[in-house]
Amino acid sequence: MFYICHYSSPMGLITLASQHNKLVGAWIEGQKYFGQIVNATKQEKSNLTIFNQTKKWLDDYFLEKKPSIKQLSLAPQGSAFRYMVWDILAQIPYGEVITYGYIAKQVALKCNKPHMSSQAVGGAVGHNPLSIIIPCHRVIGANGNLTGYAGGIDKKIWLLQHEQVDIQNFFIPKKGTAI
């Protein structure tokens, strides 16, 4: 059984999901890849401890207090490959960005492989079930391309600006499947 509740943020409604008192999802309204709870048995229950902690975390985030991801009990569900990518995402500091290519190189090193596909990394980043908390918005394409945010490019830009990232040299691609 999954439990869900909603959090009203400055950038729209965020749906939170938990299982076994751990946070398994945080999706921005309209986000692609809403996760496994779409078809699962779920119950609205907004007063769970994990939801109260997450709401406090999000309040602090939107007040620019830079809360630590370690404050929350997280249990995203995914493959070993996705966990590896999400772990790298979780280490990106506030106000900084990295590229899909950089993540691919880190994963290749961890897997003792000569290279890793940036597209495979992009799939794992895009399926991150804990938007904002695991900061997939801090990942950009080569040369400052602002592609690939399941919550929408407008939300990615909002989050980066909220974190005071200088985005003046970044750009939104004119075409592609990830915009």
CATH number of the domain residue 130 falls in: 1.10.10.10
Whether residue 91 is contained in a domain is answered as: yes
Whether residue 176 is contained in a domain is answered as: no
Same domain, 59 and 90: no
Please report the sign of the dihedral spanned by the C-alpha atoms of residue 70, residue 150, residue 76, residue 82: negative
Same domain, 152 and 105: yes
**Under DSSP, is residue 145 helix (H, G, I), strand (E, B) or coil?**
strand
Same domain, 48 and 20: yes
Which stretches of the chain drop beneath a pLDDT of 50?
177, 179
pLDDT at 30 (0 to 100): 85
Which residue, 18, 12, 46, 37, is CA-closest to 155? 12
- pTM listed for this prediction: 0.93
pLDDT at 179 (0 to 100): 42
Quote the CA–CA distance of 98 and 89 in Å, as a whole number: 9
pLDDT at 35 (0 to 100): 65
Same domain, 63 and 132: no
Whether residue 169 is contained in a domain is answered as: no
Whether residue 168 is contained in a domain is answered as: no
Distance, first Cα to last Cα, the chain:
33
Quote the CA–CA distance of 119 and 85 in Å, as a whole number: 12
| Sequence-separated (6 or more) residues with CB below 8 Å from residue 48 | 3, 5, 18, 21
Whether residue 58 is contained in a domain is answered as: yes
Would you tell me how many other CB atoms lie within 10 Å of the CB of residue 77? 13
Whether residue 179 is contained in a domain is answered as: no
Domain that holds residue 55: 2-71
Same domain, 64 and 88: no
Whether residue 137 is contained in a domain is answered as: yes
Task: Single out the catalytic residue among 23, 136, 146, 159.
Answer: 136
Quote the CA–CA distance of 78 and 84 in Å, as a whole number: 10
Task: Please state the domain count of the chain.
Answer: 2
Same domain, 149 and 89: yes
Same domain, 67 and 91: no
Same domain, 49 and 104: no
Same domain, 89 and 31: no
Which of 71, 101, 120 is the C-terminal boundary of a domain?
Answer: 71
Catalytic residue flag (residue 136)? yes
pLDDT at 38 (0 to 100): 61
pLDDT at 142 (0 to 100): 87
